[in-house]
Chain A
Amino acid sequence: MDPMQAIKDTFFQECEEQLGELETGLLAMENGSGDEETVNAVFRAVHSIKGGAGAFKLDKLVKFAHVFETTLDKIRTGQLAPATPVMKSMLRAADVLADLVTFSREGGTFDDARSNELIVELNAHCEQKTGEANAEEAPAEEADNNPFAALGWEPVALALEPDVNEYVIIFKPKPELYAKGNETTRLMRELSRLGALTVHCETADIPLLADLEPEQSYLSWRATLRSDQDLATVQSVFEFVDGDCHLDIEVIDFTRETPPEPEPEPAAAPVVEVVAVVEEAKPALEEVTAALEAVKATAPPPREAAKADANGANNATQNTIRVDLDRVDRLINLVGELVINQAMLTQRVLEAGAVKNASIATGLDDLEHLTREIQESVMAIRAQPVRPLFQRMSRIVREIADATGKNVRLKTEGEGAEVDRTVIERLADPLTHMIRNAVDHGLERPDQRIAAGKAAQGEVRLSAAHKSGRVVIEVADDGRGIDRQKVKAIAIKKGLIAADALLTDAEIDNLLFMPGFSTAETVSNISGRGVGMDVVKRSIQALGGRISITTKPGHGSTFSLSLPLTLAVLDGMVVKVADQTLVVPLNSILETMKPKGGEVYGLGPDSQVIGIRGGFTPLIDVGYALGFRSERADPMAGVTLLIETEGGVRSALMVDAIQDQRQVVIKSLEANYGHVEGIAAATILGDGRIALILDADAIVNASTGRNTPSEMLLAG
């Protein structure tokens, strides 16, 4: 790859992180939990983006980031109070900034009107609170607006601005400054843009050639600047080299009639000198860079401790590494194959009858443990907190709230919950859709809310929590809830159910997931994009997840997603059903039992229940339910697995025999075939054959009358 492109990619990756920080910080500021450090963090995020964007000449991004930064600076310095309207603009500015970053990375079109509108808005905030905002009005152009900058003189400004200051700047770079690729030339050039500048290079410290250390810094500069800018602006020139140089800026009040420095020494001369010195130092610098790379790559040995100390700040932040995702995926695939291979090996050894040899058995056990540990560690690499996903949602909420005129607050909980990266990626679309639905369909308009005796501001709660080996994500709104009468009427009108169908509340709620169902009477451009909850349901199912609704009319609805932590492995029980080998996910099994005579009762013509410790639980013959056999098998001949579904419903699944309990690698059935009702996925067993992984919930729902809508449709 083009090295420039690689650097650019890194920049954009960092932008993503900065944007995340920015969003978090702004939200904290908005709800009042932010402190000074939060504001600083937000400022730094925008500043870093601006800095990087400048390096790549991404002008639009720089311009916008600059205005944004200026406004933030006002807040940071206490000149502008972070009141609600200001924070609203800030959040929208963060959205535009994110869009600009995307635009800069991927090209395409960007609506300048949006950024310009916000620039005006942000400037208005600045002006409103500060009388002298004029100076900052078009800061992005300030450098360009000064045609005298190139000359190094600023003749007219003196007359107009009475409070011109003179700064004496003593600048002595440390070697680190050069090591980081900064140059005095640039800094001085930057200073010269602020006003009339004269520079002296102090060469007294340069030792004799024999004593000269090539990596040391011997030069220092004394610059005199006459400028109408304030001290902070002058200091900001040195912002990026902060800590890498000795900097001393002395302000001399210019009102005491000191005539302008008469010495007409052109700024160019020392610049040339500096360039020459820097050129000389180049090979050395390259060596330093190489050495630094080496330090990064390996832990610094003790004798290099001093060097490491000098770069202490760097090393402290080097606890994470960026790894190409493809490499991680390759590793995960390989580990997956390893798991299968280990299972095959174990099986072969068993078949060969070698288990009598204790050492082989121990060896196999150890191998299994190791494989499992490797797998878990590798999976942990991919696990990521859901925070960035949730952050994206807060933006969605803002946009829809604006578009629908609703007042909405997004409350997030459990952002730290970690889930496999693929799950997070593939969750973004369905979650976006659910959030949109919650705001657009779930919440009422402020006037309706007040009429209903609720606060004008609606709340959407987005939460994540780990629950028995899965992650449960909930989208809850405190809106009007699902109008079941209306839902049913629409379903009848659209011919999705028979007009005289008797449905339980839960069944009516589930109608929302039917293809072709949309309750919005007018198709809005927010939710009604022709994508319904059926698509959400299917994408969640494709992830091995489940979605359920609970709703309380007048009090809101909760959509609950239950997802596997990883898409790669699960612990399962290998069972035999009608000569087929199936895997039942272990996390759904409560206990296993062998039914005794007299415990199984018929209930109606087509159902059976099993008595367990005084209670009765529906008994489902898995082979019959899946259509592997046309007659129910004798319950006494099989084994019963007592399971609990996501909805908390208990059922007993009957299988012919339990064979094994093992970790299996999940293989997609959808990739080359499609979704099979009652089957979650496939896996490869030790004998190399494919076994299907049972979707216990779907089996239970299908068999106990909690029909999925599509089956009701078929039945009706």
Chain B
Amino acid sequence: MPAPKDRTRTKRNVFVKAPGGRVSVHRKRFRPNKPQCAECGAELKGVIRGTPCQVAKTSKTQRRPERPYGGVLCSRCTRKKILESVRK
């Protein structure tokens, strides 16, 4: 019987091979969905994908691109937005 904390559907099974050849089952949290562009829905590059704990452990510069709208819009949509504002 798994421990009470592991009796949930929000965790996945990870099979880990121990040094003695025994295979033990670890229960780990699912990773969240891939980050998407708010405008076009494309997959965002350079944005960390992990559980909130893993994300919090990384530095802020490693979490998203260092550009305006970084981590929210993709680079194409950012460029479009800037161009629109400039050409007005």
A binds B: no
Which A residues fall within an 8 A CB radius of B? none
Which B residues fall within an 8 A CB radius of A? none
